[in-house]
Structure 1
Amino acid sequence: KTLNFDKIQVKELSIAHRQRLDTYFISELKIEPSTRHSYHKAIKTTLNYAKGLPNSFQLPKDDIYFNHKVQYKPKIKVSLTSNEIHKMFDSTNYRFNSEKQTFAIHLFLFSFSTMGMRFKDVLLLKWGNLKSGDLKYVMSKNQREMKVKLNGNVVNILKFFLPSQLYINPFKNYKNEDPKFKNSLSTQIYKLESEFYKLKVQQSTHDIMASITSRKIKHAESPKVEKIIEKRDSLLIQLIQQYAKTNDGYIFTDKFDDNLNYQQIYNRAGSLNAIINLELKGVAKAFGISEFSFHSARHTFAYLSRQNKTDLYLISKCLGHSSLSITEQYLRTFEDQEVYDANDSMVAFISQFYKQE
């Protein structure tokens, strides 16, 4: 619309129009080469597909993509290790992060726990998406319907976004009297979490932070703690499903309303994504790990799934890809990086036997 392309017919498109579009992508929208490549590829694919259709409209006289290439270097996909993810989950039980960092951690872990849900899709989630007992949503990128099981990881992020009449974090409330909930599920959950903290938290917050960020996480809990977690998670699922049946507001943000158009949603999501990525830089520094972004949650889900020998078809389905070839290409970057890392390790290993003169 900005370029007035909506006022011309498809048959009138020319190389000059494509060049104007590319200039707009670069100068106005500041789009990276890899994204420009994807946009042009989508347009080219659409035009090629139209060639095989009955002549309902005329196509451009010239091939507007003749000899056209967007030079770009594929980005290295950053993913976290299972140990780093476990540390981040562990940190949600305590309060040594700033509120903004805590919010960023919650969104990141929620994305990871929902099969790598994209940032915009996370922001647009409403409690109504949980009505059926599963989390159902439509991917904004390709309109594919997705369904995610409400597992323990998912509900233990969602609980922080419930109203205080239904959930209060016992650790934050440790100086006050136990709250009086009207909902019996909330009361049971609070008692279980209070017991959980008594078993887990026996040191100062400072020591806990140092412990979480430096120690080798033990993924298995004691049988007593495991039993509490299992019962708590089961009750949380019931509580969240109960709340979702009568509430349909946005879960994670109040920045959206139903009157916004697509462009307004796109702009606000982009701004919030930049803020979250900035906070995640601070999180990475606090945990002593390499910098990562929100989208690394999706990369991490894919990478750890592959590491776990998960079937390629299942990974593709979880990510919402339209074909296995897309998933293969998606995972290939991780394989390349593994080769590079292995080579670096071998060079470092060999180098220790030689002294520089």
Structure 2
Amino acid sequence: MNFQFQLRDYKKQNGTQAVRLRFFTSSKDIQYLDTGVSVLKTQWDEKKQQVKKNTLEEQLNASLNALLNEVKMLYYKNEGVSAKRLLQIYKNSKKYDSSSMLDFYQSIIDETRMKEAIRTAKTYQSYLDKLRTFSSYLSFTDISPLWAKDYELWLMKRGNKPNTIASNFKCLNAILNKAVKLGLIEKNPLKGYEIRTVNTKKESLTIEEITLFEQYDIAPRFKSMVLARDMFLFSFYTAGMRFSDVCKLKWENVTDTEIVYTMGKSEKRAGATRYIPITPKLSAILQKYKTNKKYVFPVLDKCKDKDIEGIEYTIFIANNKVNRAIKILAEHIGITKHVSMHIAKHSFASYAVKNEVDLFHISKLLGHTKLSTTEHYLRDFFQKEQADVMNKLFGK
């Protein structure tokens, strides 16, 4: 990397010209950085690369040398980067407070919120709030495996479950990796620190229990429970459509033969658009709500399209209400399993496995991009199937 100071051609009203730091690796990779120093052309020594014949020349030259050394140090720490990348690293080092990790964490959350990933931002914010409670000030240099162990124990004492703790650390790792990428720190201080997760059993309803849900007689006056059941069954018959996507589904997504929508959680990746054929079960549910003008289900009818936070908050409240309603419904039916909207996805997966649908098609129906994700997701279901096979082979 070559570094050189030079005067800009442009002259200011007072006749001075700005001094820029020019650094480059080739004729196609040249960047310029404003030094904040401006002098007359007669006050600049191009050969010695310094200010001359200026009453403040000692102070100005010290400022230029400090800047040059700072940029060079960043380059040495990130050896091999292009001039363009080096300029980005330098700007990021000035944009963020490199001492306060908590401030940087907050800036990433704010950026996430600006990108309208509201639910992600809220989740990250809850993790940061815990971190602030544990330590009101935290620099990047404070973080270490020993610090992580103390934080892990603190979370455990507060009643956080292992998987919740793992989620907190997963987010923290992502933040630290971001800091590395932006050039704030050289390496992730938690790299290699192991946070264990616990495999949780995936509850699912059998097709017989799904049928009980369908056939249970709910009095028409209990409109919220009827809506909750319909949304739950709709999710099951659409191969586990997420609750947020069920809420956001519009009639424009529904044709005579299929439902076409983009998964909100994965909208930026390939394969995020799903095509669900309208089966008789789905058709019956859709017919009940055909008078709705915009959304299939009336959850977001009062929300404005551009009120992203309002929409996410409404979905959050609705999800809690629906989960309470279907839990009560399950108790009336006599189902003791922990029933929620998310169990609809598990139930579909279990039903597909039992009907010998091949892994590739299950993966596509669930909206997974990798078969390995589906294999991990279906691990509990396959284990139960293995037990059934053994019982058939050797049971009485």
Q: Is the 8 A contact 1:111 1:117 kept in 2?
A: yes
3-state secondary structure, aligned to 1:141 = helix
Change (3 A) 1:313 1:128: same
Matching residue of 2:288: 160
Give the alignment's TM-score, normalised by structure 1. Answer: 0.58
Following superposition of structure 1 onto structure 2, how do residues 42-191 of structure 1 map, counting pairs within 5 Å? 44=173, 57-58=182-183, 60-91=185-216, 95=219, 98-131=222-255, 133-143=257-267, 144-163=272-291
Matches within 5 A, 1:313-352: 313-336=360-383
The Cα offsets for residues 67-120 of structure 1, whole Å up to 9 and x where unpaired, read as 44445433321100111112222337x647832221111010000000100111
Maintained 8 Å contact 1:14/1:60: no
* Alignment match of 1:277 (pick from 311, 323, 327): 323
RMSD: 4.1
Q: Give the secondary-structure state (helix, strand or coil) at the position aligned to 2:260.
A: strand
* SS of structure 2 residue aligned to 1:135: strand
Q: Which residue of 2 aligns with 1:297?
A: 344
Q: How far apart are the structure 2 equivalents of 1:136 and 1:31? A: 39
- Give the letter for the 1:272 counterpart: A
CA offsets 1:288-324 (integer angstroms, 9 cap, x no match)? 1123111110000011101111110111100111211
For residues 250-300 of structure 1, give each alpha carbon's deviation from its aligned partner in whole angstroms, at most 9, with x where no partner exists.
533225330212x43333222211111111111111111123111110000
Identity, in percent, stands at: 29
* 1:34 alignment counterpart: 163
Judged with a 3 Å threshold, the aligned counterparts in structure 2 of structure 1 residues 39 and 139 are, in CA distance, closer, same or farther, namely farther
Counterpart contact for 1:119–1:294, Cα < 8 Å: yes
Q: Secondary structure, in 3 states, of the residue corresponding to 1:109? A: helix
Structure 2 alignment gaps of length 5 or more: 1-91, 107-123, 134-158
Higher relative contact order, chain-length normalized (CA < 8 Å, sep 6+) = 1
Partner of 2:356: 309
The equivalent residue for 1:232 is none
- Determine helix, strand or coil for the equivalent of 2:266: coil
Alignment partners' CA distance in 1, 2:174 and 2:250 = 34
Distance 1:25 1:132 in 2: 49
- TM-score, normalised by the number of residues in structure 2: 0.53
Q: Would the alpha carbon gap of residues 96 and 334 (structure 1) be closer, same or farther in structure 2, given more than 3 Å must change?
A: farther
Richer in strand (by share)? 2
Indicate conservation of the 8 Å contact 1:305/1:315, yes or no.
yes
Contact 2:247 2:295 in 1 (8 A): no
